[in-house]
Structure formats: structure tokens, C-alpha cells
């Protein structure tokens, strides 16, 4: 039973980390397009590295693959670490009955 709780807590921590990185990337996207219509603005977004750039009067758009791959790797590593931390903390605070307890 304890293994199930640890696994469930790891999945919760892992998904929390992924959602955190998705939320931060969405926030940088919203910040990049906050000013409305701008024809000569260079916009870029991504967290922690930029993975998309657009702008100029010729409508320049590019996906920065190195930034995208680095963002995915960093998000996965930190999500795994957060999941392991959640699993460790959860295992320390779960109820374990005493073996030699008198009734």
C-alpha cells in the first residue's frame, strides 16, 4: 500500500512541475503579445530559454529548436526532481503503525 502512495505522490509532483513550466511558458507568450498590434516589434517567448521569435515588417517567424529542446529537457528534469521530492516528503508523513505497540 505504501508503494502505491509514493507512486501516486510522485505522479502528482511530476504533473505539478510540468504544469508549472507550461504556465510559465504561457505567461511569457502573453507578455510578448501584450502590446497589441506592432509591425516592427521583435517578439520572443519561452521559459527559461526563448524558443520562438517573430516580428519585423516582413513577418519574420522562427522556431528556435535548441531553445525548445533545452526547455523540454529542463522541464522534465525539474518535474522528476519535484516528483521525487513529493514522494520522499509523502513517505515521511504517512501513517505507519507501531510494531510493538500495546493495545
Strands of 6-84, DSSP E: 42-45, 52-55, 60-63
Residue range 9-54, pLDDT digits in tens: 888 989 999 999 999 999 998 888 777 677 677 888 888 898 888 8
Q: What percent of the chain is modeled with pLDDT above 90? A: 30
Q: Is residue 40 part of a domain?
A: yes
Residue 60 has φ and ψ, to the nearest 5°, of -75, 125
* Cα pseudo-dihedral 79, 84, 86, 88, rounded to 10: -170
> Is-contact 10 17, C-beta < 8 A?
no
Q: Is residue 71 part of a domain?
A: yes
Domain count of the chain?
1
Q: Is residue 25 part of a domain?
A: yes
Residue span of the structural domain in which 44 resides? 7-91
Q: Is residue 77 part of a domain?
A: yes
Does the pLDDT of residue 5 top 60, yes or no? Answer: no
Q: Is residue 100 part of a domain?
A: no
Looking at residues 94-103, what average pLDDT do you find? 61
Q: Map grid coordinates 505567461 to a residue.
A: 27
Amino acid at each position: 500500500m505504501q508503494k502505491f502512495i509514493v507512486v501516486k505522490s510522485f505522479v502528482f509532483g511530476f504533473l505539478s512541475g510540468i504544469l508549472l513550466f507550461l504556465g510559465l511558458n504561457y505567461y511569457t507568450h502573453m507578455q510578448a503579445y501584450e502590446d497589441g498590434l506592432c509591425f516592427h516589434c521583435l517578439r520572443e517567448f519561452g521559459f527559461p530559454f526563448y524558443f520562438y521569435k517573430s516580428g519585423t515588417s516582413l513577418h519574420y517567424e522562427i522556431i528556435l529548436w535548441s531553445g525548445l529542446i533545452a526547455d523540454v529537457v529542463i522541464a522534465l528534469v525539474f518535474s522528476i526532481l519535484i516528483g521525487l521530492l513529493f514522494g520522499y516528503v509523502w513517505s515521511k508523513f504517512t501513517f505507519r503503525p507501531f510494531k510493538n505497540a500495546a493495545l
